[in-house]
Amino acid sequence: MMGMTAASRCAIAMALCMGIGVASAQAPASRPWGDATLPPDARAGLLLARLTQDEKFQLIRSYYAGPDRPADKPFPRGAIASAGYVPPIPRLGIPALEESDAGLGVASSDRMRPGDHATPLPAGPVMAASWDPQVAFRGGAMIGAEAHAKGFNVLLAGGINLMREPRNGRNFEYAGEDPLLAGRIVGEAIRGVQGAHVISTIKHYALNDQETGRSTISAQIGEQAMRESDLLAFELAIERGQPGAVMCSYNKVNGDWACENDYLMNQVLKRDWRYPGFVMSDWGGVHSAAKAVNAGLDQESAGEVFDPQVFFDAPLRQALAKGEVSQSRLDDMVRRILRSMFAAGLFEHPAKPAPIDEVAHLAVARETLEAGAVLLRNEHGLLPLDAGQLASVAVIGAHADKGVLAGGGSSLVTARGGNAVPGLAPTGWPGPVMYHPYPPLAALRAMAPKASVRFAGGEDVTAAAALAAQSQVAVVFVQKWQAESVDAPDLSLPDGQDALVEAVARANPRTVVVLENGGPVAMPWLDRVGAVLEVWYPGGDAGTAIANLLSGKVDPSGRLPLSWPRELSQLPRPELPAAAGGTPPATVDYGIEGADIGYRWYQSRGIAPLFPFGYGLSYTRFQHGPLKLDTHGGQVQATVTVRNTGARAGAEVAQVYVQVPGAKARRLASFAKVFLKPGEQREVTMPLERRLFAEFDPATHGWVVRGGSYAVYEGRSSADLGEPVNVQLAEARF
């Protein structure tokens, strides 16, 4: 396997020789935890009883295994170069934990494993924009399989921070602004990863919704508001995906570090949600021993490199000796880690080098983009392009001759072929700026073999406009690189790209803009271009997917998982202090919008964003029949018939929203994606999530549905809904 060190190969071989991971339902009497028919909790308990105190301490911390470790910190022997490593305990058959980033593929870059490569999935918002849990599951299963075949058994995946801040540099790792959609999509992706016998995290718990000041800032928000928004997204995704680990975040929440936050970890996660897995810290997120442990943190990640000291060694031993931490809590930490290892099948299915079906994996990436690209504008039927009839196409900008842009930071995946445009700044963290080698230009040439498809880089605006003027249609690629640890100071496109689009559109109104970006961008030229296709960071085989979407081989069926602001003044926090540098403030006030994130903010304030949540065009037309509701014991079900009245096959997303009495905003309560041939119709039944009818009551730690009449809407987006149907609900607590 490329990219594996000799040491790690030996470690894996040795581990196999020593019997680590040998599957057996009939475990020898000396290793009763090896009985795979026992529940994970029981197995963890049996194994815990055999561990020495030192072995317990070994399991509650990981080591950084990046080659860029400081010189005085030797590389952990046996580790695959990656984000984290917990050494094995061979005498008991406990495998090492080999932890790799992240949710968009097995992260690797020159920083991590030079020469290694993996299949890059499109950005998180693409997965969410598919509104298709099966797409998310397949993506998760693909990256899980790849991780496993590279020797990893933990993926630091499952990014689910809600989009309170459109400028957040990590929006491309997440799943948009809505707790239900994000919860379902991320939960399914996690389920996919773990089906490959790889533990997935869910992260970053919680309210790490901006990168500016991420390691100092305190997110201020009321309990009810956070339970109904960011924490609801986690709750739903954890229910669905049952991730083995939760990664606590860098920031503080209401004044307490997330990784020593008793409310988040003990009270909500472990008490209210009965979460049985373990909490691992983000890299550099630990600030104490006793406080963190007593608040619910179970494992310190790479503390020897990222924390001021390794808290979960000598300081924790001292805290134990002084009685500040109990032995039973230490045992609980270890039991949780082992439990997740058993639950994901790490003992029976050891991760080891295996061949990877790269063709099949690239197809998963391509299909994800085909399901999640969003057609934002299409005037006068400019799209789909009639590939057979086209004589000339101008392809312009964003290195579309070489590849497609990726987001930066720990999630960065290096595809086969490496960086298609090396050397762009920043080349160091959170860079490198990476273009995956799936060039749209080549794919558009293949799409229209009879046409003259010519490329202009776009640096020379006059030349680009001249090429557009000579062509039947111009496809302009624009990009905005975003990365972990930095937010965008504003929504603008960099490098004079607005002027480029303006000039091209002036030269040829048949201009299609393809956006490669991490979050919403300003489009001052929007009214003057013919079509806009949003592909975010589009991942593996993106060129082919883009050509398939532009030519209509595939109908665009993505719908926005986020609201697209018209301008910053529409946001709850128009300013993002220190995004462009300087000292960030001590706090960020998420109480302004509270639980009303995104479309709920816009609706409650009567503001029309540029594009609403749930919006996206198609090449065909759909008709939604009348909405019917059924209620059984407080559970409401919506039924609607969707019909494809156009001439092309396509997919529609039926979206159901609830308006609770007295509220101005509606809440997404269910959805279903329906694939329909021309003329076909289908009745879809969607159970509505009960917690979306409810409010969270901090006094009882539970949900309350107030008795009354609830308006339920169904339609094509949060702003395009049919007539409401009312449902009468009795008061209920759960």
**282 versus 541: smaller Cβ distance to ligand BGC:** 282
Quick check: 283 binds ligand BGC (CB under 6 A)? yes
Residue 320 has which token pair? 């134990």
Q: Cα-Cα-Cα-Cα dihedral of 595, 600, 605, 608, to 10°?
A: 150
**237 versus 627: smaller Cβ distance to ligand BGC:** 237
Within 400-459, the residues that bind ligand BGC by CB under 6 A are 410
Quick check: 109 binds ligand BGC (CB under 6 A)? no
Residue 246 has which token pair? 């939760």
| In the complex, least distance from residue 537 CB atom to ligand BGC, rounded to whole angstroms | 16
Quick check: 203 binds ligand BGC (CB under 6 A)? yes
C-beta of residue 423 within 8 angstroms of C-beta of residue 399: no
Q: Is 307 a catalytic residue?
A: no
**203 versus 436: smaller Cβ distance to ligand BGC:** 203
Q: How buried is 454 (Cβ within 10 angstroms: 0-12 exposed, 13-18 middle, 19+ buried)?
A: middle
What are the E-state strand segments in 72-211?
82-86, 97-100, 154-155, 199-205
Would strands 278-281 and 252-253 be described as parallel, antiparallel, or unpaired?
unpaired
**410 versus 472: smaller Cβ distance to ligand BGC:** 410
Distance CA 515, CA 374 (A): 10
Quick check: 98 binds ligand BGC (CB under 6 A)? no
| In the complex, least distance from residue 20 CB atom to ligand BGC, rounded to whole angstroms | 25
**200 versus 511: smaller Cβ distance to ligand BGC:** 200
Which among 282, 401, 541, 555 is annotated as catalytic? 282
Instruction: Say which DSSP state 513 is in.
Output: E
* Nearest alpha carbon to residue 246 among 337, 168, 327: 337
Residue found by looking up tokens 């030519």 in the block: 551
Distance CA 286, CA 310 (A): 9
Residue 386 has which token pair? 């009639």
Distance CA 615, CA 618 (A): 10
**259 versus 523: smaller Cβ distance to ligand BGC:** 259
| In the complex, least distance from residue 410 CB atom to ligand BGC, rounded to whole angstroms | 4
**186 versus 523: smaller Cβ distance to ligand BGC:** 186
Distance CA 534, CA 722 (A): 26
341 Ramachandran zone, left/alpha/beta (phi>0; psi -120 to 50):
alpha
The size of the interface with ligand BGC (CB under 6 A), counted in residues, is 8
* Nearest alpha carbon to residue 172 among 564, 440, 498, 538: 538
Residue 93 has which token pair? 């058959």
**84 versus 565: smaller Cβ distance to ligand BGC:** 84
Residue 73 has which token pair? 């910190």
**101 versus 555: smaller Cβ distance to ligand BGC:** 101
C-beta of residue 149 within 8 angstroms of C-beta of residue 105: no
| In the complex, least distance from residue 281 CB atom to ligand BGC, rounded to whole angstroms | 10
Identify the residue among 211, 228, 282, 487 touching ligand BGC (CB under 6 A).
282
Identify the residue among 46, 83, 199, 562 touching ligand BGC (CB under 6 A).
83
Would strands 97-100 and 154-155 be described as parallel, antiparallel, or unpaired?
parallel
Instruction: Say which DSSP state 727 is in.
Output: E
Distance CA 158, CA 180 (A): 15
| In the complex, least distance from residue 150 CB atom to ligand BGC, rounded to whole angstroms | 16
For every residue of 615-660, DSSP letters joined together read --B-SS-EEE---EEEEETTEEEEEEEEEE-SSS-EEEEEEEEEE-
Residue window 584-623: x/- pattern of binding to ligand BGC, with contact defined by CB under 6 A: ----------------------------------------
| In the complex, least distance from residue 101 CB atom to ligand BGC, rounded to whole angstroms | 5
For residue 544, which amino acid is it?
Answer: T
Residue 613 has which token pair? 């949540």
**66 versus 439: smaller Cβ distance to ligand BGC:** 66
Q: What is the 3-state secondary structure (H, E, C) of 69-85?
A: CCCCCCCCCCCCCEEEE
Quick check: 101 binds ligand BGC (CB under 6 A)? yes
Within 130-169, the residues that bind ligand BGC by CB under 6 A are 156
**160 versus 289: smaller Cβ distance to ligand BGC:** 160
In the chain, what's the furthest Cα-to-Cα distance?
A: 80
Quick check: 209 binds ligand BGC (CB under 6 A)? no
Instruction: Say which DSSP state 34 is in.
Output: G
Residue found by looking up tokens 């894996």 in the block: 12
C-beta of residue 334 within 8 angstroms of C-beta of residue 316: no
Residue 530 has which token pair? 């013919």
Distance CA 484, CA 617 (A): 30
Interface residue list for ligand BGC (CB under 6 A)? 83, 101-102, 156, 203, 282-283, 410
Q: Which amino acids are annotated catalytic?
A: 282
